[in-house]
Amino acid sequence: MTEDEIRKSYIEELIRVAPDLDAATISGGDHLQDDLELDSMDVLNLVIALSKRFGRDIPEADYPQIATADLAVAYLGNLPGESDRLI
Amino acid sequence: MAVFSMPSLGADMEAGTLVEWLVKPGDAVTHGDIVAVVETQKGAIEIEVFEDGTVAKLLAEPGQTLSVGSPLAIIAAAGEVDQEVPAPMPAKPSRAPSISSTGIAASPAARARAAELGIDLARLKGSGPGGAIVLADVETSKVSPEPIAAASDRAAYLSEMRKAIATAMARSKREIPHYYVSHTVDLSAASDWLDAANATRPPEERLLMGALLAKAIALAAAAVPEVNGHYAADRFEPSAEVHLGLAVALRGGGLMAPAILNADKLDLSALMAAMRDVTTRTRAGRLKSSEMSMATLTFSGLGDSGVEAMAGIIVPPQVALVTAGGPQPMALVRHGAVVAATAVTLILAADHRVSDGRLGAKFLLAVDKFLQTPEAL
């Protein structure tokens, strides 16, 4: 999966969790909670969606690594060596 | 025969606009079936029927704005004959929210599909009754070339909701003599238990501290019935069941508090699932009439904001509201020494017509006690 595909998937799942967001106005550095006003329930719903879509666990300790689209692209693109975290 | 009427979907509602019928004369209905969609200041609500029988006659047309209590349909039990009923009462136009002013009238199917596709309903033009957005509008939609217009529709929707909140809260402050009790709860045990539980759970089974707080509040409400119920016709009617209203904030402003039915009877996983479900449907605008009207006590958490505490205003006809600040490290005194521990400050707002501060204290101490044994929640 390319970085662009990961980014697109992330934005798609984000919009599904928060349908009142406008995909066109979300920038790569926008923070889920500080900038986009997601609450902890929204963040959990996004984690669930991303876990299913990417077929991997996202432990609570890693939540900060998906807090922006830019961070998530790096984190979700970095699969090798993490098979022990698969659900 | 039973007359099916425009329900009151909260203290702030005076009228609603019928968006669509999901049944027709001759259809059999049973308790809990969704039979219509009504647009209110807080969005479109799926209306449930509370009788078993057959739809004998529809009395209202989609597009009509009707006062709370207006007859919408006649539900006949088997073998009953049709009877005359009064015509629906059109609402006073000045007080009724119009579809165009909210811009979000839509059928549940359209809302579900739009949520799937990530389409903002405020951007669509409806072709259904009264301009309501129907499924076909979503399927054929493209991104609006006029985002400014879409933004103003959303602003109009939130403005209507702000008016509804203002009406309900002003009424509450006018009619309900509030008193407040505050208590800080040590969450060390709950926090440790939660971290351990979530470490072994896949994401879809993980819990939030909010679910533990909600469960403890629901259990305490079952134990202290004076905070749980409705105040109607100059007297308090306690509820044997705990239907916990959960305040859900909307982006850009606005708030809804749909009820989680029998919250005290759900185990933590089921309660968490119900909280996720109701939050998702609040965002998508797909709440049911029972969820809008049945809450017996409301919980509002500012868990994500980092503030210490919030004192709230009771949602009529309820008689109490529990608010929580953000769980955070606080300086607590344990065995005569100051220690840093994760804690949360709860504030109970309660109705002095029904209870006193001593009772409020008893309730908050009960919440505290339940949170000290998280494994039993």
Domain boundary among B124, B142, B175: B175
What digits encode the pLDDT tens for the residues B167-217?
899 999 999 999 999 999 999 999 999 999 999 999 999 999 999 999 999
Q: Cα(B176)–Cα(B319) distance, rounded to whole angstroms?
A: 8
Chain CA centroid to CA B358, Å:
29
Interface test with A, best of B116, B192, B198, B279 (most A CBs within 10 A): B279
> Which strand (E) or helix (H) includes residue B290?
helix B289-293
| pLDDT at residue B98, as a whole number | 37
Q: Tell whether B171 and B183 lie within a shared domain.
A: no
Residues B304, A40: C-beta atoms closer than 8 Å: yes
Q: Give the nearest partner residue to A33 out of B199, B249, B304, using CB atoms.
A: B304
Residue type present at position A87: I
- Domains of chain B: total: 2
Q: Containing domain of residue B321, as a range?
A: 178-376
ipTM (interface pTM): 0.83
Q: Tell whether B198 and B100 lie within a shared domain.
A: no
Residues A18, B283: C-beta atoms closer than 8 Å: yes
Q: Tell whether B66 and B42 lie within a shared domain.
A: yes
Q: Tell whether B169 and B182 lie within a shared domain.
A: no
Q: Does B206 touch chain A (CB under 8 A)?
A: yes
Strand partners, B90: B66
What is the pLDDT averaged over residues B100-104?
Answer: 47
Chain B hits for A33, CB-CB cut-off 8 Å, are 304
| pLDDT at residue B89, as a whole number | 60
Min Cα distance B62 → chain A (Å) is 26
Q: Tell whether B182 and B170 lie within a shared domain.
A: no
Residue B116 confidence class, pLDDT cut points 50, 70, 90: low
Q: Give the nearest partner residue to A19 out of B208, B276, B284, using CB atoms.
A: B284
Q: Cα(B121)–Cα(B138) distance, rounded to whole angstroms?
A: 8
Which of B81-90, B116-125, B296-305 is the least confident region? B81-90
pTM summary value: 0.79
Residues B203, A47: C-beta atoms closer than 8 Å: yes
What digits encode the pLDDT tens for the residues B134-178?
776 776 664 433 334 456 677 888 888 888 889 899 999 999 999
Q: Does B113 touch chain A (CB under 8 A)?
A: no
Question: Is CATH 1.10.1200.10 correct for A3-80?
Answer: yes
| pLDDT at residue B93, as a whole number | 45
Q: Tell whether B166 and B203 lie within a shared domain.
A: no
Chain A hits for B206, CB-CB cut-off 8 Å, are 44, 47, 60
Question: What b/e sequence results for B157-190 when a residue is b if at least 16 CB atoms lie within 10 Å of its CB, and e otherwise?
Answer: bbebbeebbebbbeebeeebebeebebbbbbbeb
Residue B319: name the closest of B221, B183, B212 by CA.
B221
Chain A hits for B304, CB-CB cut-off 8 Å, are 33, 39-40
Domain boundary among B128, B143, B175: B175
Q: Tell whether B214 and B322 lie within a shared domain.
A: yes
What digits encode the pLDDT tens for the residues B33-81?
999 999 888 778 899 998 899 999 999 999 999 999 999 999 998 666 5
Q: Tell whether B127 and B265 lie within a shared domain.
A: no
- Contacting B with CB below 8 Å, chain A residues are 12, 15-24, 33, 36-37, 39-42, 44-45, 47-48, 51, 57-60, 87
Q: Tell whether B211 and B167 lie within a shared domain.
A: no
Chain CA centroid to CA B181, Å:
24
Residues B208, A20: C-beta atoms closer than 8 Å: no
Q: Tell whether B139 and B22 lie within a shared domain.
A: yes
B345: helix, strand or coil: strand
CATH number of the domain within which B197 lies:
3.30.559.10
Helix orientation angle between B357-371 and B209-223, rounded to the nearest 10 degrees = 130
Q: Tell whether B133 and B146 lie within a shared domain.
A: yes
Q: Cα(B365)–Cα(B131) distance, rounded to whole angstroms?
A: 51
List Cα–Cα distances, B371 to B138, B184, B208, B245, in angstroms.
Answer: 45, 12, 13, 19
Residue A21 confidence class, pLDDT cut points 50, 70, 90: confident
| pLDDT at residue B119, as a whole number | 66
Q: Tell whether B199 and B153 lie within a shared domain.
A: no
Q: Cα(B23)–Cα(B312) distance, rounded to whole angstroms?
A: 40
Which structure tokens are listed for B213? 């707080």
